[in-house]
Amino acid sequence: MSAPPAGTEPITAADVARWRADTPGTQRRHHLNNAGAALPPRPVTDAVRTHLDLEAEIGGYEAAGAARASIDDAYRAIAGLLRCAPGNIAMTSSATASYAQALSVFEFTAGDVIVTTSADYLSNRLMFESLSARRGVRVLEAADLPSGGVDPESVAALVSAERPRLVAVTWVPTFGGLVQRVEDVGEVCVAAGVPYLVDGCQAVGQLDIDVTTVRCDFLAATARKFLRGPRGVGFLYVSDGALARDWHPLLVDMRGAKWPAPGGYALFDGARRFEQWEQSHALVLGMGAAARYALAAGVARTAARAHALAAELRARLANIPGVRALDRGERLSAIAAFECAGPDASVLVRALRERGVNTTAQTADENAVALQRLGASSLLRVSPHYYNDESDLDAIENALRELLTQ
């Protein structure tokens, strides 16, 4: 029998034990908040600390010079994760910063249309609201499929009727367990020649990605979620097509362009035109280490394990009296959302944390519209990753049962 291709071998108990040993936080907490910020493995924290120490020893600019090859490696690792070239990657401080840089490319004027979905991330949606209020942009939501998630045919109908300036889709929404059909929407955008912006914040590290099959112009992401990198760093993928059209952020800085003569500027090649000159090299190196760790673990197999753990959680927690699983969609992610009878979910999050279990909540205070659409007053988000194990699932099930039957 021939060996399975690298990265698709079945996961063994020894793999899980090794991943947990690499992750000191697993000894202290039942961390089921990977959609918030995952526990980083040791190579990530080592990379960050080593560079901060070097900066303290020899100086920040000098340390950047000394680490040049490792910084280049970080671009290569992120590009490897997306199956693109390093020149398509811009380092940023967050997914939101990436998204804002990409949005600023477009000269929106009154009446321009952005087509999005019912499950777009709140901060993205707030940017659209701001563009509406300040520039008169119209924001149109494509319809969902009856089973949940955006209907690509509805996107196609809106694109043909409205000729939008931009189509924007959140691949894996932050609450609600969905994986959207971004590839099908990409096909619509390519056929119509409409720019396409994907929020891949919860997808990177959770899904095995080939960004060329998504066919987006931009993909925004962050390090700290399923990629298991540090907080405060993210990246933006920029397609070859977008670069060839000289697309660049409205407020480009000296990392992105040079100044050959007054009255003009000349863009540098590659996605670096979306970066800002000042950035945390320690965090970039940490994100590079996280990407290498993900690639070595094998994203296809770790994704399958994370999704299986989330499916088990949905089944186990929905069996507790008063708990309702909210996730809908043909394809579900590693994010599981529940409505729990009784106290607001934020109270449950605090009580679970006291019992060593990490989760998060969404309350009406933060996003009333999303909760209304789900028909829930608040929701508890539980997001396992591949390094979680049965002890983590047992811990949340037991704690929730105890809290809800008190």
Ligand X SMILES: Cc1ncc(COP(=O)(O)O)c(C=O)c1O
By CB under 6 A, name the binding residues for ligand X. 94-96, 121, 123, 170, 173-174, 199, 201-202, 222, 234
- CB 217 → ligand X: shortest distance, Å? 17
- CB 121 → ligand X: shortest distance, Å? 4
- CB 318 → ligand X: shortest distance, Å? 23
- CB 383 → ligand X: shortest distance, Å? 10
- Tokens standing for residue 281: 């090299």
Taking the least distance from each CB to ligand X, the nearer of 50 and 104 is 104
Taking the least distance from each CB to ligand X, the nearer of 235 and 387 is 235
Do residues 202 and 174 lie in contact, with contact meaning Cβ atoms separated by under 8 Å? yes
Nearest to 123 by CA among 223, 202, 190: 202
Do residues 236 and 198 lie in contact, with contact meaning Cβ atoms separated by under 8 Å? no
| Strand-pair partners of 323 | 340
Q: Which helix (H) or strand (E) holds 371?
A: helix 364-374
Percentages (nearest 5) of helix, strand, coil residues in the chain = 45, 15, 40
In angstroms, the CA 236 to CA 234 distance is 7
Taking the least distance from each CB to ligand X, the nearer of 173 and 298 is 173
| Strand-pair partners of 122 | none
For the chain, the first-to-last Cα distance in angstroms comes to 54
- CB 262 → ligand X: shortest distance, Å? 36
Q: Report CA torsion sign: 355, 359, 361, 366.
A: positive
Q: Report CA torsion sign: 389, 34, 374, 320.
A: positive
Please give the biggest Cα pair distance in the chain. Answer: 72
In terms of Cβ atoms closer than 10 Å to its own Cβ (0-12, 13-18, 19+), residue 174 is buried
Across 22-118, where does the E strand assignment appear?
30-31, 89-92, 113-116
- CB 204 → ligand X: shortest distance, Å? 10
- CB 285 → ligand X: shortest distance, Å? 18
- Tokens standing for residue 200: 């891949």
Taking the least distance from each CB to ligand X, the nearer of 67 and 131 is 131
* DSSP category for residue 113: E
Determine if residue 317 is left, alpha or beta; phi over 0 gives left, psi from -120 to 50 gives alpha, anything else beta: alpha
Do residues 252 and 265 lie in contact, with contact meaning Cβ atoms separated by under 8 Å? yes
Taking the least distance from each CB to ligand X, the nearer of 276 and 320 is 276
- CB 175 → ligand X: shortest distance, Å? 8
In angstroms, the CA 368 to CA 363 distance is 7
Taking the least distance from each CB to ligand X, the nearer of 186 and 298 is 186
Taking the least distance from each CB to ligand X, the nearer of 94 and 298 is 94
- CB 308 → ligand X: shortest distance, Å? 21
In angstroms, the CA 158 to CA 168 distance is 13
How distant, in Å, are the alpha carbons of 68, 206, 282, 325, 380 from that of 307? 37, 9, 31, 15, 18
- CB 34 → ligand X: shortest distance, Å? 11
Taking the least distance from each CB to ligand X, the nearer of 96 and 388 is 96
